[in-house]
Structure 1
């Protein structure tokens, strides 16, 4: 078992009433696609011994700030506020890439080859860069929008004999489209509710998403949402200095997932939000990465060495972000992104994928990281190695039309 110290707790001074937060969140389109109150978690039991955890990073994670290509000669000229690399506090990974310092608590996993990344990957989604469409395509796993109404993880269960429903955990009223479909999956939601109906929230989001006037409030809304939730939790568990602080919502989700996976459940899927960093990315991304780090460490600790050793955690996002930072210290919706891998079953300690370069001629539309890999193909190989899923079932049913290519070597042999 790897000895990993607990992540430090972040503190917020901002406070917001529930009414004020709901008023703001109803007006901010981008945040609706990544609201902390709309985060579902689902589980399904299956007749194999390995464990698979799929995490959707809603909002578009900036891969270039998370796994920083400081060795690329064009990197230094693209970012000033968001400049990374070891000289700016990042942790060197391999002499070319460096890890964002907010993920420093995960470095013991990296050194143990139980943490890795796949760079320059994407879904087939291109050009429109809408959170809702991007997430729909990511969770449907199809080459185009509106082709399937079920999710690719549910289709995996459909082609696997002996699958049974197990308790599923969802925060808020949202649904994990990833797990929608004919295969049996059950859901559970706590009592956190939004005043707006899911239909009204989606309509507001579609109307507001492309309005730049609302982008600047995104990170604030996400942070205030989590602060409000944490205040309620502290009130139930004791104020600072009067007793231990209860785990944050994402830690509770991960702990519950681990509890299920220690039993008969074999698959867990949930979301982590707050990745839409249009402005003041330095602070917003740090907070999102802290949530991701704490989630992975909770899974690692609560699963225990016997289960963790046969677990693959795969985190993916709907699209990446622009390689150049914008005028407000953030980045805009892009194309190529990254996947995060963790667990004893993955071949970690390396950055997988084919790096395309950051020179202008190497970019997608001369603005985004060029995708050189398909997240569906990467996921297909993980399914094949973890579960033994048939090659044809992957390319015909689970991810229709995907070109799997050669084995990228993401799992331990």
Structure 2
């Protein structure tokens, strides 16, 4: 019987060829700069990746999850934070001033609902319902045709409602997720009674077992591929963008970070792939394109500061914001961090949001693409007046 990996490779191979062939090297006008948004669906635990090792409460609140970083982590300058060994690539980018981070970033949502917080992020208006997403409004502000691309299977909410939809180039790899709902049922019916149908049933069962063992909620990913596949897909993304300098805005989402249990093993693999993906993206873009590119990575919310009884964490509030690129003001922490004391936490359990996502993204769009404040106010209505130099 074909393996789950083989079945996903069969499904993905056509997408890979189509995406790469559809975006040949072109000679269209180059945009001023580029913003790539990588959205980690599921609530990523930034305190695991980059930990405040100088805070004495870290080992008390995270007795198992802090052991490795306290003994083997890489110090991030004088910030008081260290990178987990699996995030060594992030530490290297930080050391070369090509990466900066904000430990207490996020949205205004306090529901701890994946879906509400994700919608709030993608709409960018401070509301959970709206007619357009923030990247659609940003594309319109750039006043250029075909300036946006989404490395997803469908137009994501952040790009919906625009005058012109983004180009779509789904990335492939063994991290490709199976579809859900009516589409999945139609595919199963089409393969019923065939060898490929048996392989599909096996793939579904294996995927469910993996998610259950990791203590994750697969629904939180909303069909996005696993973040542990970023190391394999980032090169394709970089080559497409390098060959198409007009593409000023790009979006990619990934799941598999909702770690309610056994977090050390699951996130170690994810972090290694994220770091590998950023390095591969930098390499495939080349020096010139890397210098005009800013890569933002964040999640809908962070996790609880205290680990739970199953060596995992639960839904929190403030989370990690990563910014990478060849011309950023890297090698530093963005915004504030007030420690892990009870008085500094949100609801006595989470990191607070000290850097609003709209202000951070607005600064990236201003610095990368030259969008003026008047347009940024329309892209992010109601954004707080936090000024960041990124």
**Structure 1 stretch 116-125 or stretch 69-78: which is displaced more?**
69-78
Counterpart secondary structure, 1:170: coil
Listed one character per residue, the Cα deviations across residues 118-165 of structure 1 (whole Å, up to 9, x for unaligned) are 120111111x2111111111111121211x132101110112212325
* 1:400 alignment partner in structure 2: 381
Alignment TM-score, normalising by the size of structure 1 = 0.73
* 2:167 alignment partner in structure 1: 186
What CA distance in whole angstroms lies between the structure 1 residues aligned with 2:238 and 2:289?
A: 9
Q: Residues 165 and 348 of structure 1: is their aligned pair in 2 closer, same or farther, counting only changes over 3 Å?
A: closer
**Residues 275, 285 of structure 1: 8 Å contact kept:** yes
* 2:115 alignment partner in structure 1: 132
Listed one character per residue, the Cα deviations across residues 267-316 of structure 1 (whole Å, up to 9, x for unaligned) are 22101221111000001111111221121011111011111112111101
Which of 293, 304, 326 is equivalent to 1:322?
304
**Residues 320, 338 of structure 1: 8 Å contact kept:** yes
What CA distance in whole angstroms lies between the structure 2 residues aligned with 1:158 and 1:401?
A: 19
Q: Which runs of 5+ in 1 are unaligned?
A: 1-14, 22-39, 202-213, 231-247
**Residues 149, 249 of structure 2: 8 Å contact kept:** no
What CA distance in whole angstroms lies between the structure 1 residues aligned with 2:142 and 2:54?
A: 43
**Residues 36, 296 of structure 2: 8 Å contact kept:** yes
Tell me which protein shows more helix as a share of its residues.
2
**Residues 71, 97 of structure 1: 8 Å contact kept:** yes
* 2:343 alignment partner in structure 1: 361
Are residues 1:62 and 2:42 paired?
no
The structural deviation recorded for 1:182 is: 1.7
What CA distance in whole angstroms lies between the structure 2 residues aligned with 1:292 and 1:328?
A: 24
Q: Residues 119 and 46 of structure 1: is their aligned pair in 2 closer, same or farther, counting only changes over 3 Å?
A: farther
Listed one character per residue, the Cα deviations across residues 72-129 of structure 1 (whole Å, up to 9, x for unaligned) are 2322221111115754211111241101111113333222100111120111111x21
* 2:101 alignment partner in structure 1: 117
Q: List aligned pairs for 1:319-398, cutoff 5 A.
A: 319-395=301-377, 397-398=378-379
Listed one character per residue, the Cα deviations across residues 8-38 of structure 1 (whole Å, up to 9, x for unaligned) are xxxxxxx9758x99xxxxxxxxxxxxxxxxx
What CA distance in whole angstroms lies between the structure 2 residues aligned with 1:400 and 1:134?
A: 17
Q: Residues 189 and 305 of structure 1: is their aligned pair in 2 closer, same or farther, counting only changes over 3 Å?
A: closer
**Residues 141, 398 of structure 1: 8 Å contact kept:** yes
Counterpart secondary structure, 1:119: strand
Q: List aligned pairs for 1:215-294, cutoff 5 A.
A: 217-218=213-214, 249-262=229-242, 263=244, 264-294=246-276
Listed one character per residue, the Cα deviations across residues 344-385 of structure 1 (whole Å, up to 9, x for unaligned) are 121111121100221112110111011111011011111111
The structural deviation recorded for 1:188 is: 3.9
What CA distance in whole angstroms lies between the structure 2 residues aligned with 1:61 and 1:198?
A: 29
What CA distance in whole angstroms lies between the structure 2 residues aligned with 1:305 and 1:101?
A: 26
Q: Residues 383 and 341 of structure 1: is their aligned pair in 2 closer, same or farther, counting only changes over 3 Å?
A: same
What CA distance in whole angstroms lies between the structure 2 residues aligned with 1:46 and 1:267?
A: 14
**Residues 68, 85 of structure 2: 8 Å contact kept:** no
What CA distance in whole angstroms lies between the structure 2 residues aligned with 1:280 and 1:122?
A: 24
* 2:62 alignment partner in structure 1: 79
The structural deviation recorded for 1:220 is: 7.2
**Residues 70, 98 of structure 1: 8 Å contact kept:** yes
The structural deviation recorded for 1:169 is: 3.6
Q: Which runs of 5+ in 2 are unaligned?
A: 9-18, 186-209
Alignment RMSD: 3.3
Alignment TM-score, normalising by the size of structure 2 = 0.77
The structural deviation recorded for 1:319 is: 0.1
* 1:101 alignment partner in structure 2: 85
Counterpart secondary structure, 1:315: strand
What CA distance in whole angstroms lies between the structure 2 residues aligned with 1:285 and 1:193?
A: 18
Aligned residues: 336
Q: List aligned pairs for 1:148-159, cutoff 5 A.
A: 148-159=130-141
The structural deviation recorded for 1:266 is: 2.2
Which of 176, 180, 184 is equivalent to 1:196?
180
**Residues 65, 84 of structure 1: 8 Å contact kept:** no
What CA distance in whole angstroms lies between the structure 2 residues aligned with 1:401 and 1:82?
A: 37
**Residues 113, 349 of structure 1: 8 Å contact kept:** yes
